[in-house]
Chain A
Amino acid sequence: DAGITQSPRHKVTETGTPVTLRCHQTENHRYMYWYRQDPGHGLRLIHYSYGVKDTDKGEVSDGYSVSRSKTEDFLLTLESATSSQTSVYFCAISEQAKPNYGYTFGSGTRLTVV
């Protein structure tokens, strides 16, 4: 999506290894989010950020950490990947805490933990 990119798009990793996913935005939006999408669960919030170095936990934060050292970048780290973390991860941005048009999402990162 315009203004928001996720990298990598696909990744296969082994159980127990650390993995970092990157979300980069060029919109200068204050709020950034990490969601994971799984069959039967839809999109579930992992962590979110409301400014540089300001982050908070979402619904499914166990096993994940995040960092935001710059407005444009929001990193999601799996310290020790497990098979249950195989999923599609989406980053989203918004200008306001409660935007009228919701969030703008990236194209996703498909992560497979073997």
Chain B
Amino acid sequence: DQQVKQNSPSLSVQEGRISILNCDYTNSMFDYFLWYKKYPAEGPTFLISISSIKDKNEDGRFTVFLNKSAKHLSLHIVPSQPGDSAVYFCAASGSSGSARQLTFGSGTQLTVLP
């Protein structure tokens, strides 16, 4: 049973528009959430994170929103650029035991069309 779910395997957006990637989780012990970006033939790289004590974190063009009651987070990219085309993984961790290790979603392939 996947504890972190990304229900959209792919997303296409036009350059300059907003990209919204979604992620849902089921484990209420998760208290820290991260987004990673992955290009082909490379390892995932950290993009942005958010603690459960916050509902929004912004870093340049990237903003992550957290809705704890819905166990849902989203990544907004504005404006989207062709270089943003990659697979985006949502990840979560908790504070104790095995939950401290990062649990990843299945990823969303974002394609930004020029």
Contact = CB atoms under 8 A, between A and B. Distances in A.
Given A98-B95, A101-B49, A102-B49, A90 B44 contact: yes
Contact of B46 (A90, A97, A102, A108): A102
A107 B39 CA distance: 10
Contacts, number: 58
Interface of chain A, helix or strand or loop or mixed? loop
Interface string B74-101: 0000000000000001010101000011
Interface residues of A, number: 25
A106 B42 CA distance: 8
Contacts of B101: 33, 45, 48, 58
A107 B106 contact: no
B43 A42 contact: no
A58 B103 CA distance: 10
A7 to B, nearest CB: 14
B43 A107 contact: yes
Interface of B: 4, 6, 9, 32, 34, 36, 41-46, 49, 89, 91, 93, 95, 100-107
